[in-house]
Structures are given as C-alpha cells and as structure tokens.
Amino acid sequence: MTEHAGEIFDIGYQRYEGPREGRMRAREALFINGVRTAIGLGRGWQSKVLPGLLAIGVVIPAAVISITASAAEPFEEIPGHAEYYRIVSVLLFLFAATTAPELLCPDRRDRVLDLYLVRPLTTTDYVLGRFLAFFSVMLALVLAGQVVLFVGLTLAADAPGEYLADNWLDVPRFVLAGIVVASFATAIPFAVSTFTVRRTYAAAIAIALFVISLPVAGVLSTCDPSEDSSFGAVQECEPPVGDAAKWTALLSIPEVPMHVSDLIFDKENEDDDFAELVRELPPAIPVLWYLALTIGPVFVLWWQYRKMTL
C-alpha cells in the first residue's frame, strides 16, 4: 500500500502587532467616508456632477457681486453678506435634499448597519459621524462664497484698509450664520431619510417640505393689495388669518434659518414679506422655532436609529 505524505506550508499568517486605534479611529473612518460620499469621491463621475455644479453655483454670485461692487455707486446698495445666504439658499437646500440620503439610505437598504456596529461604534457614534460629515460639507459650501465675497468687497473698496477695519465683524457674523444655515439644511433631510431606504423618495419628500411650505405660508400670511381704478390708489388688504399672519409666516421652512441670519447681522430685510412679518414677533420666537426645527429632526434621527439597533 502507498502511504500518503503530508506537507506543511508556511503561508505567512501571523498575529497583528500594530497599534489598536479603537473607537476614535472608527469614528474618524466613518466621518471621512461620509465626506467622500457627500462630494462623490470613490464613485462614478455622475456622482460628482451635482456637488461640482453646486460649488460653482455658490461661488458665482459672490464673484458677480464683487465685480459689480467695483463699479457700483453707491457701494452700499449692492447685496452684502446678509443677503448672500438668501441668494444661494435654494441651491443649498436642493443639494442637501438630494445628497443627504446618500449617507443613510444605502446602509439600511444593503443591511450593513450591523456591520458598522460590530466595530467599537455605538448608534450615537454612527448618527453623529454621518451628521457631522454632511454638516462639514454644507458648512464649507456656505462659507466658500462668503469668503470670496468678503475678499472681493474688500478689494473693490476705494480704501481696502478702511473697509476691512469697518467691516471685519462681518466675518464672525457670516461664520455664525453659516453654521445656522448648514445645521438646518442638514437636519431635515437626514430626519426624512430615516423613514425610507429609497434615496429618491427621501429626496422628493425633503424637497417637497422646502417647496410646498413657501406658498402655504404665503397664502396664509400675505395678500395682494387691489388697485382702485377710480383714484389710482392702492387699497389696503388683510391676510386671511389677520393678525396671526406674523405667526403663520414662520411656516415657510426655507425662511426659518434666514430669520436667524437677519438677527445675527441685525438686518431688516424690507424686500421680504415674511421677514417683515416675523420682525413683529419678539426675537426669541424665530430663534426658538429654528431650534425646534433643527434639534427636533436630529432627535428623530437618533431615536429612529436607536430603535433599529435595539
């Protein structure tokens, strides 16, 4: 009979002797992955189109205003830092509504959430890491245009040194207002994304909230004065809800962070009907309403993920 010979092969398996970075390293990896996902890195070129167009769209108004400022007389009549967020708010909210679901929905649809949690990560770590990743991208976008605008206005001034000395406080103001806008734009789409695994549905619902609330608030809070053809005088009109119009003006979701931004800049926006109505309220009211619509969705986001992983 033939005896079977055995062989032993050394294929190089050995124990890992490197550093064990633990929970903080897992948090960092989750954050970096979220940033890369939001800006389309590591995916096809189609995923990079929207972030690229948004970045260009956010910066172009700042460049245009800066160029206009060099020839504007008087200099103060051109849009400034307080108006800038209103100009680009539509782009920012559109980007948030369409991109935020990319960070949450695929993980639940592909059932990989449990794989994250077998690492030294908790549910709070996961939610916070995803939220901060997208918030960082949003904040970079909202501040990029403001920086371009500030530099452009400074260079366009007749005396750049004097302009800088007189307006340096605009920097902490637009940074704080940027945090306000970025937090709000991140919170609502993230909360919506917890109720569906379909990115398209989440984006559609978030966009609907931003879009539909504006005409609803307009119908309740404003009216079009009719013109008396006999005397050519504009007749006064009263909103359907009467004196409560200053409260229903808060229902316009895109305007919520703008009211807080106006308070930060101490700016009275006379061209915006909602802003004019909200100024009739105590300043604490729009601030509290903003906090409710920002902290509330974040809590819903955390609570939904906590229930999923119990």
* Domain ranges for the chain: 23-227+234-308
Yes or no: say if 202 and 101 are a contact pair by the CB < 8 Å rule: yes
Query: Using alpha carbons only, how large is the chain's radius of gyration in Å?
Result: 25
Give the pLDDT score at 287.
94
Lowest mean pLDDT segment, chosen from 122-131, 158-167, 222-231, 262-271? 222-231
pLDDT tens by residue, 112-131:
888 887 777 888 999 999 99
pLDDT higher than 50, residue 9: yes
Provide the percentage of residues in the chain whose pLDDT is more than 90.
26
pTM of the prediction?
0.85
Yes or no: say if 126 and 116 are a contact pair by the CB < 8 Å rule: yes
Quote the mean pLDDT of the chain: 83
Give the pLDDT score at 10.
65
Q: d(Cα 114, Cα 6) in Å, to the nearest integer?
A: 41
pLDDT higher than 70, residue 1: no
pLDDT tens by residue, 180-239:
999 999 999 999 999 988 888 999 999 998 888 888 888 887 776 654 444 454 456 677
Lowest mean pLDDT segment, chosen from 232-236, 262-266, 274-278? 232-236
pLDDT higher than 70, residue 26: yes
What element of type H or E holds 234? strand 233-234
Is the preceding peptide bond at 239 cis, omega within 30 degrees of 0?
A: no
pLDDT higher than 70, residue 143: yes
